[in-house]
Amino acid sequence: MDNTSEVVERIVSNVERVIVGKRQEIELAVMTLLCQGHLLIEDVPGVGKTMLAKSLACSVGCTFKRIQFTPDLLPSDITGVSVFSQMNDDFEFRPGPIMAQIVLADEINRATPKSQSALLECMEERQVTVDGVTYKMPQPFLVMATQNPIEYEGTFPLPEAQLDRFLMRVNLGYPALDDEIAIIERQERSHPIEDLCQVASASEILDLQEEVKRIHVDPMVKRHIVTIVEATRCHPAVYLGASPRGSLALFRSAQAMALIRRRDFVIPDDVKALAEATLSHRLIVSPSARMKDIHGRTVIAEIMDSIAVPGARVGR
C-alpha cells in the first residue's frame, strides 16, 4: 500500500511543477487514469487544460497524441484509415491519433456529432473498428477532453451517450493570486513542461489499476452509492438521472481515492468527495429548473445533504 501511494505521490508532485495550486484537480485526473476511465475538463481558455494532459502523459511515460476538434474533422481523422499499399498489394491500416495511451481531445464540442461519435467505441470498448477490422487500444488508455463552457457559437453540445462515458468532469478554475504569480515566475525564462521528467512507467500504472480493484468496499457503502444514484432519477429538477454507469464510476473512483489516501477500504467520505465530479455531468436538468439556475452540481449537493451517511462498519 505504501509503495503504490508513493508512486501516486510522485506523479501528482511532478504534475504540480506545471499546474500550480490545483492539487485536488490533479489527483482527480490521476484517479481517472487509475480507474481506467476518461476525463472531461470543462473550463475557460488559458487555465492549463492542455498542460494538465501533457504533463500527466510525460510523468507516466505514456505515448501522447492531441486531436484538435474542428467542424471539418472526419471520423477517419480520429480512428485512422486503410490505405492501399502497392508494395504489399493489399490495404494497410494507418492508425489515427486515437491509438495512443493518453489522448487529448481538445475542444471536443467543436466537432460535429458524426466525428464525436467516433470516440464512443474507443472510450467504452477500448477498441476501434475500421473497414470491419477491430484494433485494440494500447494500455493504459485515457481520453482527456476539453471544452469551453462559455463559447456556444460554432459548437455542438456533447450528447448524453458521450457525456456518460466520461468517468469524471473537473473544472480547473482561475488560480489564486499567489499561485498566478508563481506561474509567471516559473515561465519567466522557459516553460516547466520542457524540463519535466518521467517519474513512473506505464507498467506501474497497469499495476495500480489492478490494485484499485482490490480495495474493499463494504456492502453498506455500496448501498449508499446506489442510493445516491437512484435519488438523481427521482429528483424533481432532473429530466434524466444517472445511469448504472454512474454508480460504477462513483464506486471505482471511491476505491481509487482510498488507495491514494493509503487505505485498503472505502469510507463514506470518499463517496461524498467524489459524487459531484462523477455524477453531475450525467444529469439532464429539466428546462424549468434551468430557468431557475439549477444545474447538475446543485442537484448533487442537495442529494448529498438529504441522504443519511451509512454506519461506521466500513472496514474488513
- The domain made up of 215-306 has a fold known as Helicase, Ruva Protein; domain 3 (1.10.8)
Helices vs strands, H then E, count in the chain: 14, 11
- Strands 133-136 and 127-130, bridge-based pairing: antiparallel
Longest Cα–Cα distance of the chain, Å, equals 68
Q: Which residues of the chain have pLDDT under 70?
A: 1-2, 150-154, 311-316
Residue-by-residue DSSP string for 243-303: -HHHHHHHHHHHHHHHHHTT-SB--HHHHHHHHHHHHGGG-EE-HHHHHTT--HHHHHHHH
> Long-range contacts made by residues 87-94, C-beta under 8 angstroms, separation at least 24?
91/131, 93/130, 93/133, 93/135
Is the previous residue joined to 140 through a cis bond, with omega within 30 degrees of 0?
A: yes
Residues sharing a CB contact under 8 Å with residue 127, sequence separation 6 or more, in sequence order: 121, 134, 135, 136, 137
**CB 128, CB 80: distance < 8 Å:** yes
- The predicted structure's pLDDT at residue 42: 87
- Chain segment 115-168, per-residue pLDDT in tens: 898 899 999 999 998 888 899 999 999 999 998 876 666 678 888 888 999 999
Residues sharing a CB contact under 8 Å with residue 264, sequence separation 6 or more, in sequence order: 1, 214, 215, 216, 258, 316
- The predicted structure's pLDDT at residue 247: 96
Which residue, 49, 66, 71, is CA-closest to 148? Answer: 49
- Cell numbers for 290, please give them: 434551468
- Cell numbers for 230, please give them: 437512484
- The predicted structure's pLDDT at residue 153: 64
Which residue, 39, 155, 164, is CA-closest to 107? Answer: 155
Q: How far apart are CA 37 and CA 161, in angstroms?
A: 15
- The predicted structure's pLDDT at residue 312: 47
- The predicted structure's pLDDT at residue 132: 84
Query: Which residues of the chain are in CATH 1.10.8.80 domains?
Result: 215-306
Please report, to the nearest 10 degrees, the dihedral formed by the alpha carbons of residues 210, 215, 221, 224 taken in order.
-20
Q: Which CATH class is domain 2-72+99-207?
A: alpha beta
Query: Which residues of the chain are in CATH 3.40.50.300 domains?
Result: 2-72+99-207
Within 10 Å of residue 97's Cβ, how many Cβ atoms? Answer: 17
